[in-house]
Amino acid sequence: MKIETLAAHCGHEVDSATGAVIPPLVLSTTFARKEDGSLIGEHLYSRMGNPNRQALESTLAQLEGGGACVSFSSGQAASMSLFHSLSPGDHILMPLEMYYNTRGLLETHYSRWNLQASYVDMTDLRLVDQALRDNTRLVFIESPSNPRLRITPIAEVSRLAHKIGAVCIVDNTWATPIFQRPLALGADMVIHSLTKYIGGHCDVLAGCVIGKDPDHPYMQRIRSFQATAGAVPSPFECWLLQRSIPTLPCRVRAQCASARRVADYLSQHRRVEATHYPGLASHPGHDIAASQMSDFGAMLSFETKGGREAAAKTCSRLQLITRATSLGGFESLIEHRILVEGPNSPTPPGLLRCSIGLENADDIIADLSHALDF
């Protein structure tokens, strides 16, 4: 089935007990046993499994073309489970530009038990090859990257990782499985913040890890960590995510079409120093993105002439686009990243990150035009 059909039908089987077309919400934390002590159904306790979570994980695995999915209460909890699957002394190769909280998780918490991490520009394969070590167990890709949308060649980096026996995982949050299928490109695992495009409404916090091989030792450890550590999404969150997935292809394609128009507009504006969007022919990763993505996504960032002060003034003048952290919802959001990341941030001080929503592109452009006209 095509991905639109998968999104519409996976996890939406007719309920055999009631005939309900929409799957029922199962809030029970525990499940009864028969007189002989055996379980009536397949579930024991909701931390270990729940019908809504099972349906969600099955759907997500199919959307990414994976063999198994393990869901968590946030994208960061999913990352934590991934790092927990490694051993002290193992080395992780990370991208130089990435979501700053993932780097913070490694440096603040996992460095204490000697999980080693180094950072490299993964757009340069020569640097990736040089940075690999004998104890490298995991190569982590974020493409497009946060916040300047740098593009990593997934197939080539996966081959380099496999050459030394390492596992390659791709954060596919920004691209979604609609625009990019990392497992088909050679990656072993995919990670998502489900809070973003898959949730799509800025009302659910969740994350997941999807693996090509459900029997891979790391996937087995991640599943065990989910069941024992308990950082799981609630049945209601799983139900909300399952509700959102059928509209995912339509939503992100509409958002992507608007993002292309906004990027074109910003790239020609006299007050904009640089526009970061892989759909622009001028973007240094445009050709690679075109080869591994079916479209270029709905995220972009731009740098204002005048640096931090000009960026702050632009934000303050916006009337339609909401100033808020996060992305992937139906409403357009903008964020002055350096204010979030702090004084040690490598992000340019004049950079504004935009998540393009479902508003009419003309209205988004008019709002940006007003904001930049000072």
Catalytically active residues, by annotation: 47, 99, 171, 196
Task: Provide the token pair at 42.
Answer: 């397949």
If DSSP states are collapsed to H, E and C, what string results for 36-105? CCCECCCCCECCCCCHHHHHHHHHHHHHHCCCEEEEECCHHHHHHHHHHCCCCCCEEEEECCCCHHHHHH
Q: 190 and 143 in contact (C-beta within 8 Å)?
A: no
Give residue 65's region: left, alpha or beta (phi > 0; psi -120 to 50): left
10 Å CB burial of residue 344 (0-12, 13-18, 19+) is exposed
CB neighbours of residue 348 within 10 Å: 20
CB neighbours of residue 78 within 10 Å: 25
Among residues 216, 161, 220, which one has the least CA distance to residue 185?
A: 161
